[in-house]
Structure 1
């Protein structure tokens, strides 16, 4: 898979565009700036937006090409951020250091996903937020992007279980119109969640 993502991100255009995810933008615009973590951040569209809004951004992805594109985008907008090349399985966070964590289309195998999500909860400060958008299990019937393996897609029940230590403020699935670069285009069935650490 790493080769797949490096190849995709090596293309001159930004695979998912340079604008932030709409749900991320509308949510983060309502929060006071602090420290934010963006795992599996890809080419940095959300990281750069957060940095432009005054957030102290830490991001990672396991594609070196994604990191290079992120720094290119950050330079274009005159912002700085921390970005490293890392696999989620090697993610060992400090405890309670982030005010927010953003997860956007982070579809991992079920063997590693619950443990990874638990690590993210540990990394949140009290009153810190998780903001998530990803593909619902029904996305396998749409052509707008995402994995076709149902096990890699989300259900509301899975998210409730995997983030049971947070207070879920909103959790829904809905069909939206995606317009994010080359690879997220058209009708899509997504899940959206905002949760807070009490």
Structure 2
């Protein structure tokens, strides 16, 4: 989907499309890190960026949907925090290198040829000692999970996500079950979760 399609999807929803709560893996990985500079790539409506700002991080959030960015700004205002918002397509955006103590890429689903350079740039944006978290729907989700894109070419595997992360120490690369409420029952989505640290 391009930015205009995401704009339409966000605009059609009377409230946040996802939730104001941060992603569970963002909380798990970043809670115990000392606050510094954080970069949230494909920030959507800003739930992770705003949460990080609430924890004392100086946050830059990049998203190509202007509607999502406006919702993120409102959420930040409601929570009384400041986030730097950048409207940009990650396929053309070059984050500053050696600059961030944490970089998040959550649920960015692009063809491999587009995703790989984004992930390489995300790793290069880390300052020494910085942590990169990448999370997205795993290809196994098609047959064993629920939700997410239904095109295998857009889904992740731990191996494919790790491949463009040259020079980083990968501390976690796994397919993880995530509980999801569907109607009156709890089911599970399968996510790829990769955590890497720049030496």
Shorter-chain TM-score bucket reads over 0.9
What is the aligned partner in structure 1 of residue 35 from structure 2?
A: 33
Structure 1 range deviating more: 132-141 or 32-41: 132-141
Which runs of no fewer than 5 residues in structure 1 stay unpaired? none
Equivalent positions of 1:16-31 (< 5 A) are 16-31=18-33
- Shift of residue 186 of structure 1? 3.9
Q: In 1, Cα distance between the equivalents of 2:112 and 2:85?
A: 25
What is the CA distance between 1:142 and its match in structure 2? Answer: 5.6
Give matches, 1:120-131, under 5 Å.
Answer: 120-131=122-133
The alignment partner of 1:162 has SS state of: coil
Q: In structure 2, how many angstroms separate the alpha carbons of the residues matched to 1:27 and 1:175?
A: 16
Q: Does 1:6 align with 2:22?
A: no
CA-atom RMSD in angstroms: 1.8
Q: What's the counterpart of residue 116 of structure 1?
A: 118
Distance 2:73 2:144 in 1: 32
Q: Tell me the TM-score normalized by structure 2.
A: 0.92
- Picking from 70, 73, 96, the partner of 2:72 is 70
Quick one: structure 1 residues 179 and 52, their matched pair in 2 at CA, closer, same or farther if it must change by over 3 Å? farther
**3-state secondary structure, aligned to 2:51:** helix
Distance 1:192 1:134 in 2: 7
2:90 corresponds to which of 88, 91, 94: 88
Structure 2: runs of 5+ lacking an equivalent = none
Q: Distance in 2 between matches of 1:143 and 1:192?
A: 15
> Does structure 1 retain, via aligned residues, the 8 Å contact 2:146–2:190?
no
Aligned mates of 2:181, 2:18 — CA distance in 1 = 8
Q: What residue in structure 1 maps to residue 109 of structure 2? A: 107
Q: CA deviation at 1:36?
A: 0.4
In the TM superposition, residue 165 of structure 1 has moved relative to its aligned partner by 2.1
Give the superposition deviation at 1:179.
Answer: 5.2
Relative distance call for 1:3 and 1:83 in structure 2 (3 A) is same
What residue is the counterpart of 1:145 in the other structure?
A: 147
